[in-house]
Amino acid sequence: MPHHNPYPVPDEPGVFVPVEVRGWQGGYDAGISSPPDVPRTPSVRHPGYMDAWTEGAAAGNADGRAEGWRWAYFDGSARPDAKDAGGRYEPGNSGERAPEHGGAFTQSWPCVGEMPLLVMLAQFAPGQQGGEGLTGRLLARACADKGVTRLYLPTSVHPSPAAQEGPGDRLADAGYWHGTVHASLDEAAPEAIDHVTVRVSRFAALVRYEPAGEHNFFDLLPVNEMLPSNRLG
């Protein structure tokens, strides 16, 4: 079982969320995506944030060693190289058996990062405010409230300078096209496949999210197992 954020989040609306919540989650995401060593704590003015980030990074590193590393793909990180920490990082079988489109999404890369989950949260639970270490927590709660066990978001996996969405969309601001979030692969798949075939782009994927507590975990399912070579480290 993965470590969980030890810093409590107030349930009362409008109450200030402690900065340690964001610090721990940021450290954890860095720790589980950068083997083999615990990453260095960033220098910031808030000592509580720094201490929580350090704790989170150690927890993420421990979970990476015990349960497998994750790729911070949309944060611009290279693929984890885990030679010195228990074996190389590789994709697995997605397990998708959707009758119409499952054959295009057989490969699954374990990933971590808040950016695509912010888009999913905005579309799936309008009005929910992510960020501050709360995105995974809020998305998991929204899925539970609606009885949904998986979400899929079609997206490009190679950044382009052209923006596709309005301001405040961090995925588009970083140059990644994305479509509409869906609760089934066969509903989401055509958008990702069309991005490859109709738009003459080689690279697109589905972001698959399954609730994991407060964690920003997702799987990246590339169309026909194709990813840009310059992202493979």
Query: Could you tell me whether strands 151-156 and 204-209 are parallel, antiparallel, or unpaired per DSSP bridges?
Result: antiparallel
Q: Look at residue 158 in the predicted model and tell me its pLDDT.
A: 87
Q: What's the mean pLDDT in 26-43?
A: 94
pTM of the model: 0.93
**pLDDT band for position 99 (50/70/90)?**
confident
**pLDDT band for position 46 (50/70/90)?**
confident
DSSP secondary structure string for all residues of 68-115 = ---B-GGGTPPPP--GGGTS----EE-----TTTGGG--EEEEEE-SH
What are the tens digits of pLDDT across the range 161-182? 754 555 568 899 888 999 999 9
Residue 198 has pLDDT above 80, yes or no: no
